[in-house]
Amino acid sequence: MKTIPDQTARLRLLPLAKLAAAPKWQLETIRALREASFLWVTHGQGRINIGGSTRGFHPHNAIFLPAGTMHSFHSMTRVQGVAVYFGTAHGLELPDRPLHLRLRDAARHVEVAHIIDAVQREMEGGRPKAHQAACHQLGLLAIWLDRHSHDGEEDGTQATPVLNANERLTARYAALLEREFGSSLNVTDYATALGVTPTHLSRACRASCGRTALEMMQERRLFEARRLLLDTNIPVQEIASKLGFSTPGYFSRAFTQAVGKPPSAYRKTGAEPTRLR
């Protein structure tokens, strides 16, 4: 796979209301981040797909996604809370599996809210060594996550459930797609690598996340195309090559059909109103 430029991930906090207002293509494309993230929901509800399994979230839910976890969001309306992006150089011992914690105990709500508030104060206070202090507060969050990752079902705390067969296959496909979406591999190639037929793979993907294998592949490629068009000056024909399209013309047609305007016109319109990264 050709190297695709990405922004340097740094520690940052994002209100969930802003996350929910992001363009639909940013929220609903199943993809993985190169950094860990933590979502603390205080109001509203929505759905999140984690590794092929879609489940709802509600107030007082805490969701942790290790780096490399395939996920997407759906129907995030009137959601409040905060998303913490750890960056890629935090140096913390974080859980190695996704967690979805439904916290019923008010004392636990206070614990996590206090830590998040402390991180936010440091990030926004402008004091000397604020970033270092914020990272120390994140260390407390890492300990909080580790403790609750061993709680089992106590007080409603639970980790992400075991995936069924369709979800496991979709998760394997999504992880492989995340590594190889810039190549010229097609669905048949991916299915062969996974030891199944293309029909079986697409059926599993549709059952797990409502998309065929081909739709997932096209969505991931076009997600990256939008990002590169908005965030870089890489020529359109080079973007087409980086993303595995056989010709710039084919890329332009696929992009126009999905987005409603050709790549060059999309780039000229400028950045979209709300960006996730």
Please report which confidence band the pLDDT of residue 275 belongs to, taking 50, 70 and 90 as the band edges. Answer: very low
Same domain, 152 and 18: yes
pLDDT in tens, 252-268: 999 999 999 999 999 98
State the pLDDT confidence band at 104, using cuts at 50, 70 and 90. confident
pLDDT at residue 185 greater than cutoff 80: yes
pLDDT band at 7 (very low <50, low <70, confident <90, very high): low
- For residue 161, pLDDT over 80 is answered with no
- 42 and 122 share a domain? yes
pLDDT of residue 3: 47
What does DSSP say about strands 53-57 and 61-65: parallel, antiparallel, or unpaired? unpaired
Q: Are residues 115 and 55 in the same domain?
A: yes
Residue 275 falls within a domain, yes or no? no
Identify the domain boundary among 122, 137, 159: 159
Can you tell me the mean pLDDT for 134-139? 92
Percent of the chain scoring above 70 in pLDDT: 90
Q: For position 152, what pLDDT does the model report? A: 53
Pick the last residue of a domain from 110, 125, 159: 159
Q: So what's the pLDDT on residue 198?
A: 97
> Looking at the predicted structure, is the pLDDT value of residue 77 above 60?
yes
pLDDT at 151 (0 to 100): 60
User: Which of 159, 177, 196 is the endpoint of a domain?
Assistant: 159
Residues 16 and 148 in one domain: yes
Q: Say which CATH number the domain at 90 has.
A: 2.60.120.280
Percent share of the chain, pLDDT over 90: 62
Are residues 133 and 78 located together in one domain of the fold? yes
Q: Say yes or no to pLDDT of 237 above 60.
A: yes
* Segment 191-216 mean pLDDT: 94
111 and 194 part of one domain: no
Q: What residue numbers bound the domain in which 234 lies?
A: 165-268
Mean pLDDT over each residue of the chain, to the nearest integer? 88
Domain count, the chain: 2
175 and 118 within one domain? no
